[in-house]
Structure 1
Amino acid sequence: MKKTLALCSLGLVMALPATAADYEFDKAHTNVQFGISHNGLSNFLGQFQDFTGKFDIDEKDLTKSSFDVIIKTASVDTDVPALDDHLKNADFFDVNKYPEMRFKSERIVQISADKYAVEGQLTMLDKTLPVTLDTRLNFQGRHPLADFFPAYDTQYLGFSATASIRRTEFGMMTYAPMLADQVNITLEAELKRKQ
């Protein structure tokens, strides 16, 4: 009897429609940027060119989703080669010792119809601290260009996210406070469901 009940339960679970799916970055349409006040003269901008992400997206309830993003610190790019070299050394990202930054989500809270707070842990320079991404859902569904370009014929999710961190809390002390402590992070991302 127990075996029959177990088989029936298994059959019921397998019959339920799956709402979670694996997504990945559409890297050609995703930007990971940062901005910092440069001695009060301007807000200096940069980005990271090499990043990956594993996204477990619950397509019926995004608050049940989770993700894990890894950024290669040596891919920092400010369009100023000499500055990039400086950012890679021990004064800042120390890329030889700490080749990766990582953000892992822990909880997603829906604030309004298209706004979410994504709470997680950011690891940088071997220190892990809580960070919340203020996130706006821009799009969810079959890509609008799917009928024109077969490569787009899958489910997509697009969002914009921002957060602020204090770099000194992660141990990045160089030139503080002359070079601002607060770093503003901007993520413009398109995700696609894995085929």
Structure 2
Amino acid sequence: MRKIVLILILVFPTLTVLGQDVWALDPGHSRIRFTVTHHMISEVDGFFREFEATMKTTKDDFSDAVFEFSAKTASINTENENRDEHLKSADIFDVEKYPVMSFKSTSFSQIAGEHYKVTGDMIIKENTLPITLDVWLVGPVENERAKRHELGFKAIGSLMRQAFGVGENLSTLSVSDEVGLRITGEFNKGY
């Protein structure tokens, strides 16, 4: 009897993993963008150059999908070298002390058709807070040449930067507290 129980303990997690689809991010067709309001009159956009993400699911309708992503904070880019250096400094992201920001979903639910809502924990500068994003999934489609399935996605939402300790001393009259997020791209998995 002990042998059977031991075999089940060893085999059951393996079966669970085998039944799970892991979708990998195609970084060449993906981008993590953000937008802030500057001096309450104009928008400044930026993105992260280095990031990775996965989506894991066991269901074809993605209702149990778990999304994870991380970005290297030192890869921030607003196409202005002086501003980027300030963003990397201890005043804002403190990239030497906090080199990575990350997100892991806690729920994923379909709203209608391709529209979903994802809620999860965002970690920036060791501050963990929940955020919710609207997500649109397109596909999956079969790419016979590449021997894989591809899934397009777009996620839109926002977060409050000061709650994460990002630029706490920076006046919200200078740079908005609310940061708009727009994450787009493709996931794929082989077959």
TM-score of the two chains, using structure 1 as the length reference:
0.84
Stretch of structure 1 that moved more, 111-120 or 51-60: 51-60
SS of the residue corresponding to residue 170 of structure 2 reads: coil
Residues 49 and 76 in structure 1, CA contact (< 8 A), matched pair in contact too: yes
Residues 163 and 185, structure 1, Cα contact 8 Å, conserved in 2: yes
Q: What does 1:23-172 align with in structure 2 at a 5 Å threshold? A: 23-143=23-143, 146=144, 150=145, 152-172=146-166
Aligned length: 182
Q: 1:24-48: CA deviations, max 9, x gaps?
A: 1100000100000011221110000
Cα pair 1:22 1:194 within 8 Å, conserved:
no
* Cα displacement (A) at 1:131: 0.6
CA distance in 2, matches of 1:194, 1:96: 36
Amino acid at match of 1:184: G
Secondary structure of 1:111's counterpart equals strand
Identity %: 31
Looking at structure 2, the residues matched to 110 and 19 of structure 1 have their Cα atoms a distance apart, in angstroms, of 21
Q: How many Å separate the matches in 1 of 2:147 and 2:190?
A: 11
Residues 147 and 190 in structure 2, CA contact (< 8 A), matched pair in contact too = no
Divergent runs of 4+, >2 A: none
SS where residue 87 of structure 2 aligns?
Answer: helix
Structure 1 gap ranges (5+): none
Residue 169 of structure 2 aligns with which residue?
174
Give the superposition deviation at 1:59.
Answer: 4.8
Structure 1 stretch 50-59 or stretch 162-171: which is displaced more?
50-59
Question: Hey, what does 1:184 align to over in structure 2?
Answer: 180
Q: Could you list the runs of 5+ residues in structure 2 that have no partner in the other structure?
A: none
What RMSD over aligned residues (CA atoms) do the two structures have, in Å? 2.4
TM-score, with normalisation over the residues of structure 2? Answer: 0.86
- Alpha-carbon distance in structure 2 between the residues aligned to 1:161 and 1:124: 18
Task: Tell me by how many angstroms 1:194 deviates.
Answer: 4.6
Q: Is the 8 A contact 1:24 1:194 kept in 2?
A: no
How much does 1:156 deviate? Answer: 1.0
Q: Distance in 2 between matches of 1:110 and 1:162?
A: 15
Secondary structure, counterpart of 1:176 in structure 2: coil
**Aligned mates of 1:194, 1:22 — CA distance in 2:** 9
